[in-house]
Amino acid sequence: MNCELIRARAPLRLGIAGGGTDVAPYSSEKGGAVLNTTIDKFAYCTIRPRNNGRMTVNSLDYGLVEEWPLDERPLKYGGNFDLIKAVANHFEVRQGFDMFIHTDAPPGSGLGGSSTVIVCILGAMSEWLGVPMTQYEIAHLAYHLEREELGLRGGKQDQYAAAFGGFNYIEFKRDDVIVTPLRVRKDILHELHYSMLLCYTGKTRQSANIIESQMDNYRSGQNEVALDAAKRLAEEAKDALLRGEIRHLGEILDRSWEQKKLFSSSISNDVIDTMYGLAKSNGAIGGKISGAGGGGYMFFLCDYDRKHMVAKELVSHGAIISDFNFEKDGLQTWRYRQ
C-alpha cells in the first residue's frame, strides 16, 4: 500500500490548581485561573484519505467503527462520534477519509481526555486540509465545538493545555483566555517529578454530572467562596512552583483539595477520602484529584523518603501507580507515507 497518512497527537494534562474556576458561569462572570501541566500520555488521531465521499471513524479504544456519507450535510448528531462529526461539519469536508483515534488513558480519567481528543482531531484535519491554525485558534474552536455546538459540560482549561503543552498559568476572562507558559527551571522540574506520585483510583466517572452540580451550586450561591479561594490558590501555586518551593506547593495542593470538595458533594467519595487519608498519614504533603472529581487519577506531593510508603499503602487499597514524565510540547502533527 502506498498512501499518505496524516497524524496528530496531543498530551493529556494534570490540573494542579484552580480547576473548576474555568467553568461557566463562574469563569465568565468573575474570571477564572488555573495552573496545569501536560504529561507523556497522549491522544492520537490518524487520517487516511479515501477516493470516495464517505467517512469512517474507528475508535481503537472501544473497538467501534461507524461510517457515514459526506453528501448529507450537516452530519446529524446523536451517536458515538459527535466530536468527529462536529469537526467535519465545521470544515465542510467533502473528500472521503478513514479516521483512527485512541488515547493512553481511559475515558473519565480526569486527564482532560475528550477535549484532548478533539484538539488532536482538529490538528490532523487542519494539517490534511492545509488550513493553518494557531494554538489559540485550535483551543478556542475545540471549546466552541465541544461545549457550545454539542453542549457537553466542562471547563476551558483542557483544550488550551492540549494545544499549548507544558506548564501553563491560564486566565479566563469574560471574552478572552490568556495562556502564560511558565519557564520552570530544570532542577525544580526534576525535584517536582521526584516528589510527585500519580495513581489511578481504579474508578472512572461522568464528569458532566459533577460539572452540572457545580454549576447549579454556583448559581444558588453555595460554592462561590470556595471557587474564589481556588482561584487565589492557583496564583499562589504558580508562584511557589516558579520559586521551587515544592513543600509549600504540596501544602497548597492540600488546601486546594479542601476547597475543591466544597464545589459539589459529588467530587469526593469514600474511596477517594480513604486513599487521600492514607496518603497523608504515610507522608504525602498534599494532593488532589485531577479533573472534575469523583474518580480517575489522583496525584500527591510527598517527602522523598516517604514516597515509597505512600505508594505501598495506596496499592494495598486498590490504586494503580502510574509512571509518567512531564511533556513540554503541545499538539503535534505530521505526515507519513506508507
Task: Dump pLDDT digits (tens) for 161-181.
Answer: 999 999 999 999 888 999 999
For the chain, residues classed under CATH 3.30.70.890 are: 186-321
For the chain, residues classed under CATH 3.30.230.10 are: 4-183+327-337
What is the per-residue pLDDT for 293? 66
Stated pTM of the model: 0.93
**How far apart are the C-alpha atoms of 330 and 98, rounded to whole Å?**
24
**How far apart are the C-alpha atoms of 331 and 66, rounded to whole Å?**
26
Active-site residue (options: 22, 82, 104, 158): 158
What is the per-residue pLDDT for 231? 96
What is the per-residue pLDDT for 167? 98
Which tens digits make up the pLDDT trace of 96-119?
999 999 999 877 777 888 899 999
pLDDT higher than threshold 90 for residue 264: no
Report the pLDDT averaged over residues 30-39: 96
Name the CATH topology of 4-183+327-337: Ribosomal Protein S5; domain 2 (3.30.230)
What is the per-residue pLDDT for 182? 98
Pair 288, 257: CB distance under 8 Å? yes
What is the per-residue pLDDT for 300? 97
What is the per-residue pLDDT for 296? 83
pLDDT greater at residue 246 or residue 210: 246
**Phi and psi angles of residue 221, each rounded to the nearest 5 degrees, phi first:** 80, 15
> Which of the four pLDDT bands, split at 50, 70 and 90, describes residue 314?
very high
**What integer best gives the mean pLDDT of the chain?**
92
Active site residue 158: yes
Q: Which CATH code fits 186-321?
A: 3.30.70.890
> Which of the four pLDDT bands, split at 50, 70 and 90, describes residue 206?
low
**How far apart are the C-alpha atoms of 316 and 324, rounded to whole Å?**
21
pLDDT higher than threshold 70 for residue 203: no
The helix (H) or strand (E) run that includes residue 173 is none
pLDDT higher than threshold 60 for residue 205: no
